Amino acid sequence: MSTTPITLAQIRDFQGKYPKQLWALFFTEMWERFCFYGMRGMLTVFMVSNLGLDDPTANLQYGAIQAFVYAFTFIGGVFADKILGFQKSLLWGALMMIAGGLIVAVSPQELFYIGICFSIIGTGFFKPNISTMVGQLYHTNDSRRDAGFSLFYAGINLGALLGGVLMVYVGKYHSWRWAFALVGVVMSISLVNFLLTRRAMGPIGLSPLHADMPLHRRRLYEIATYVGSLIAIPFILLLVTNTRYTDLFMYIIGPATLVYLGWEMRRFSGEENKRLMAALVFILFSILFWAFFEQSGGSLSLFALNNLKHSLLGIPMDPNVVNNSSNSLFVILFAAPIGILWVWLSKRKLEPNSVVKFGLGFLLLAVAFFVFYSTLFFADADGITSLDLFTLGYFVITFGELCLSPIGLSLMTKLSPQPVQGLMMGMWFLASAYGQYVAGLLGAGMSIAGEEATNMAKLQSYTSGYHQLALYALVAGVVLLAISPWVRKLMKGIH
């Protein structure tokens, strides 16, 4: 067996549609997303049924937790760019998530928030950096990059489907303790998979510190990063458990990030900076998209818990399982056909550019929320409505997601200069943090507090909110389509 290290050129000059390293990252990410989406689907249901929170408080708490999960992807991206490199960031993130799941499993009620803090830090180091590694498998202008991200996105959703079904089912019908323990078990599989395939990554994701730096100083920087992330846990715990501090944090982190990016931009050419400005446009609109889309883990999760029939097309089915897995199933079924459609249109010079695809994503999002709103007209006197129609809403929303999310991951690597790719991927996920934060506020605003609230009152309140979100998504889509020529000029030839 050859022990000669693989070079970046050898990785990028692969034959066929996908580099072999993509499959290693596919399965590493798949198991991590199993945990993330499984946890996402459990949070509000667990907080209402086991922590005694009312619906508005659970929505706010969900938004805060998810916001910090994504906000720390920005911080994880910066430390990967400057100190650890993507590979060590991923390994540290996986270890932190394993610890988080096992801590909650020991005592779900007493240790819930402490374990969540470990998971927040772990996801921050893991998520943005594995996505950036996918982008680095390709030459800058390799036309196969989007296909690679589409496959990677399929791995995300395969994990989300498995976790969305299994963890919610285990938690609701067997044991919340075992459901959280699954995080530790499954993340261990993800970690082992990466360790076994790490050698094939060659130089991708290694430490960015200068090769001439003394070894003891390198280790000091790395150890300081690990220790600092552990010291941050009490601070994160304070933020997560007090939503007023969450507000303050979100008011600070976004502007601070833009200032930091502005400082970095002084190093780049005018053309590179215009592309970064285009990336910021996509990031800004993605905040709105995720604020609406991520009702799935908050208000839609409680809507499924209280207001939906336990029958899908005549088959007995738990509504929360459907809420947490149908989107992933539809993505798996339709991601490839949508990708083929883009290729078919491209060959005929008809493929819409990325800005138009984003606009179409918002228009489909609007249609989906109109469908969720229409469940009001199919409810019985007890406020219980059609799971079939609810699932149709997720069917529509999936096509909106496919117009935006996998393309966004690819765009961040296309539009970003190499030295700030981890930063920009972190900003893409930071936009998701703001989306999650706003999602919690929106969900709390459309929910009703108090045990005396009837299911019919909850149904009317939530569906009224979905009607408003549909209108907002429609306006955002029209605006994006209108400004698409201007954004295309900023992109400087990136499609």
Domains in the chain with CATH codes? 18-491 (1.20.1250.20)
Per residue in 450-476, is it b (16+ CB within 10 Å) or e — as a string? eeebebbebbbbbbebbbebbebbbeb
Place 494 in a pLDDT band, splitting at 50, 70 and 90. low
Over the stretch 16-73, which tens digit does the pLDDT of each residue have?
Answer: 778 888 888 888 888 888 888 888 778 888 888 888 888 888 888 888 888 888 778 7
pLDDT at 126: 85
Helices 145-173 and 20-49 cross at an angle (nearest 10°) of 30
Tokens 């690679």, residue?
148
pLDDT score of 3: 61
pLDDT beyond 70 at 451: no
Maximum mean pLDDT: which of 179-188, 441-450, 481-490: 179-188
Do residues 97 and 119 make contact, with C-beta atoms less than 8 angstroms apart? yes
Rounded mean pLDDT, 304-332: 89
Please tell me the predicted confidence (pLDDT) of residue 1. Answer: 43
Greater pLDDT, 185 or 412: 185
The whole-angstrom separation of Cα 474 and Cα 476 is 6
- pLDDT, mean of residues 224-247: 86
pLDDT: which is higher, 337 or 121: 121
Nearest to 457 by CA among 303, 301, 295: 303
**What average pLDDT score do residues 425-450 get?**
80
> CA-CA distance, 281 to 262, in Å (whole number)?
15
Q: How far apart (Å, rounded) are the C-alpha atoms in residues 41 and 86?
A: 28
Q: What is the pLDDT of residues 62-104, one digit of tens each?
A: 888 888 887 787 788 778 878 888 888 889 999 999 999 999 9
3-state secondary structure of 143: coil
Quick one: CA dihedral 461, 327, 430, 336, positive or negative? negative
Which phi and psi (to 5°) does residue 312 adopt?
-120, 115
pTM: 0.78
Using a pLDDT cut of 90, give the percent of the chain over it. Answer: 22
Centre a 10 Å sphere on the Cβ of residue 49 and count the other Cβ atoms it contains.
14
Question: Is residue 484 within 8 Å of 355, Cβ to Cβ?
Answer: yes
Number of Cβ within 10 Å of residue 224's Cβ equals 11
Listed ranges 58-62, 406-410, 419-423; the one with the highest mean pLDDT: 58-62
Residue that is written with structure tokens 């790490």 in the block: 198
Residue of higher predicted confidence among 4 and 113: 113
- pLDDT tier at 493 (50, 70, 90 boundaries)? low
pLDDT digits (tens, 9 = 90+) for 130-160: 877 887 888 877 777 777 877 787 788 888 8
Give pLDDT tens digits for 350-389.
878 778 888 999 999 999 999 999 999 998 988 899 999 9
CA–CA distances in Å: residue 135 to residues 79, 336, 341: 18, 19, 22
Residue 260 burial by CB count (10 A; 0-12/13-18/19+): exposed, middle or buried?
A: middle
Please state, in angstroms and rounded to a whole number, the distance separating the CA atoms of residues 140 and 304.
44
- Angle, CA of 33, 398 and 492, to the nearest 5°: 90
Query: What would the mean pLDDT of 178-186 be, rounded to a whole number?
Result: 90
Which of 217, 314, 190, 250 has its CA nearest to residue 66? 250
